Homo-oligomer: A and B are copies of this chain.
């Protein structure tokens, strides 16, 4: 049963519309130039992510902060125009920085750190953020849910220890797959397991 079939079933049975939850672990976005410097070549896809065109790369990095480091951190492709390191607040504590809670792509003035790959090292002056929880929707989904791009909503999770997250940003784009994205602090706080669903509250 694919997403749309499951949603249609849930809607018919329960009179409610659901969105699949996903947990995003810590990961790095790099520019084409940085990929060349860190790995000696561009990023290569290992497997596709739920959002069309996005992929988990074969390449991995060490991420270093003032108080700690993480090895073997996922890199997501394709390359971007700006580097960005998305970590949880728990990860920030380990690294010794306090990342601001921001939407992806908005890392101005955030703390920096160092990336180390097999071929080189890059020091970022900024770019470390905790991704603000958000929901990807296509225009048709947004219309069904009665929400619009940029709006914040409440998201109820049907998980082991249920939570209603406030301040969840809706992002609408025709190329999106409908998914609510949590970081690992949030995923663990609600006892998320793969396949769990959430509901946008009216």
Known contacts A160-B101, A185-B185; A89 and B165 CB within 8 A of each other: no
Q: Does A81 sit within 8 A of B, measured CB to CB?
A: no
**How many A residues touch the partner, as a band?**
20 to 34
Shortest Cβ gap from A192 to chain B (Å)? 9
Q: Which residues of B contact A16 (CB under 8 A)?
A: none
What string of 1s and 0s marks CB contacts (under 8 Å) between A156-169 and chain B? 00001111111100
Q: In whole angstroms, how far apart are the Cα atoms of A59 and B17 in the complex? A: 51
Q: Which of B133, B160, B189 interacts with A186 by CB under 8 Å?
A: B189
Contact, CB under 8 Å: B188 / A90: yes
Assembled-state Cα–Cα distance A163/B133 (Å):
12
Q: Is the CB of A166 within 8 A of B162?
A: yes
Which residues of chain B have C-beta atoms less than 8 A from A78's C-beta? none
> From residue 138 to 191 of chain A, which have CB atoms closer than 8 A to chain B?
154, 160-167, 184-186, 188-191
Closest to A182 in B: B189
- Establish whether residues A163 and B189, one from each chain, have CB atoms under 8 Å apart when the complex forms: yes
A88 on the interface (CB 8 Å rule)? Answer: yes
* Residue on B nearest A160 in the bound complex, by CB: B101
Q: How many copies altogether?
A: 2
Q: From B89, B163, B188, give the contact of A164 (CB < 8 A).
A: B163
**Distance from A188 Cβ to chain B, minimum over Cβ atoms (Å):** 4
Residues of B within 8 A of A89 (CB): 188, 191
Complex CA gap A57/B186 in Å reads 30
Contacts of A165 in B (CB 8 A): 161, 163, 189
Q: Which residue of B lies closest to A191 (CB)?
A: B101
Q: Which residue of B lies closest to A190 (CB)?
A: B189
- Write the nearest CB–CB distance from A172 to chain B, whole angstroms: 21
Known: A90-B90, A133-B161. 16 other contacts (CB 8 A): A90-B185, A90-B188, A101-B160, A154-B164, A161-B167, A162-B166, A162-B167, A163-B163, A163-B164, A163-B166, A163-B189, A164-B164, A164-B166, A165-B189, A185-B189, A186-B189
